[in-house]
DNA sequence: TGCATATATGGTAGTTTGACCAAATATAAA
DNA sequence: TTTATATTTGGTCAAACTACCATATATGCA
């Protein structure tokens, strides 16, 4: 693997890593339904505001979301909406895992 | 968010997290081309064998891959092949990010 | 059986992450 | 301009991650 390929795979892994935290994945799923301000997201997350803000920063740095300040509030939205298209497949993995457990019990 | 929803999002995030490491993502991409034994994967990774083995264990525990021992070797393959279907979109994010940088330079 | 090969596991050290608190910044309203 | 609200930033600390080394296990062959 050369340097270019390595940089590419690192960049891609970084995006998946950004989505690989429950709070951040939940945020992304919320944003799939349209933009939200930080306060709206915060309503349903049991964590410090600063924690929420940092999670959003990570999503932003990964390029998953973009933000826009309007008045006192900051609105976030998905930068490339297709980013959640693969969730059905992620769920298929969960299904397959569950099936494995069931099989083990037989 | 209730307990069930929380458990679901955690399970999904865990899968993304497993793929959110360059070495593991690379492995998954290799396996998209068909099963490989550990030694074949190791050929192209500059890391200790034990490290490689542990990465594969993480993918296995996440349910992304399954393994099968045949003779002296252990073969790994994707458990649910669609898991890499979204890479084009991940790449679209990278494209969008690159575009943002270009725009900033204008 | 004894040895070499393939892979996994246990232990350890350095690095990164994630949560909270406190403080800073920005904006709108009084 | 003072005040309240919305969000971000900096600091700290415990927990989790990752890499390496050494060691253990399993299998096929001599």
B15: nearest Cα among A78, A94, A64: A94
Q: Does the ipTM surpass 0.90?
A: yes
Q: For chain C, which bases have at least one atom within 7 A of a protein Cβ?
A: 5-11, 17-23, 26-28
Query: In this structure, which CATH number among 1.10.1740.10, 1.10.10.10, 3.20.20.450, 3.40.50.300 belongs to the domain A3-80?
Result: 1.10.10.10
Residues sharing a CB contact under 8 Å with residue A30, sequence separation 6 or more, in sequence order? A36, A41, A44
Asked whether B9 and A22 are in contact (CB, 8 A), the reply is yes
pLDDT at A88: 87
Shortest CA gap B7–chain A (Å): 9
Asked whether B39 and B50 are in contact (CB, 8 A), the reply is no
3-class DSSP state for residue B66? strand
Task: Note the pLDDT tens digit of each residue in B1-29.
Answer: 778 889 999 999 999 999 999 999 999 99
Which pair of tokens denotes residue A60?
A: 């932003």
Task: Note the pLDDT tens digit of each residue in A33-91.
Answer: 999 999 999 999 999 999 999 999 999 999 999 999 999 999 999 999 998 888 888 88
B104 — pLDDT class (breaks 50, 70, 90): low
Residue B97 has pLDDT above 90, yes or no: no
């Amino acid at each position: 693997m050369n340097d270019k390929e390595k940089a590419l795979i690192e960049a891609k892994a970084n995006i998946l890593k950004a989505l690989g935290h429950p709070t951040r994945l939940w945020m992304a799923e919320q944003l799939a339904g349209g933009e939200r301000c930080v306060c709206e997201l915060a309503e349903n997350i049991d964590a410090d505001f600063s924690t929420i803000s940092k999670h959003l920063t990570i999503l932003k740095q990964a390029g998953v979301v973009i933000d826009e300040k309007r008045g006192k509030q900051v609105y976030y939205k998905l930068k490339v909406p297709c980013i959640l298209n693969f969730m059905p497949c992620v769920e298929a993995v969960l299904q397959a895992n569950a099936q494995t457990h069931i099989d083990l019990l037989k």
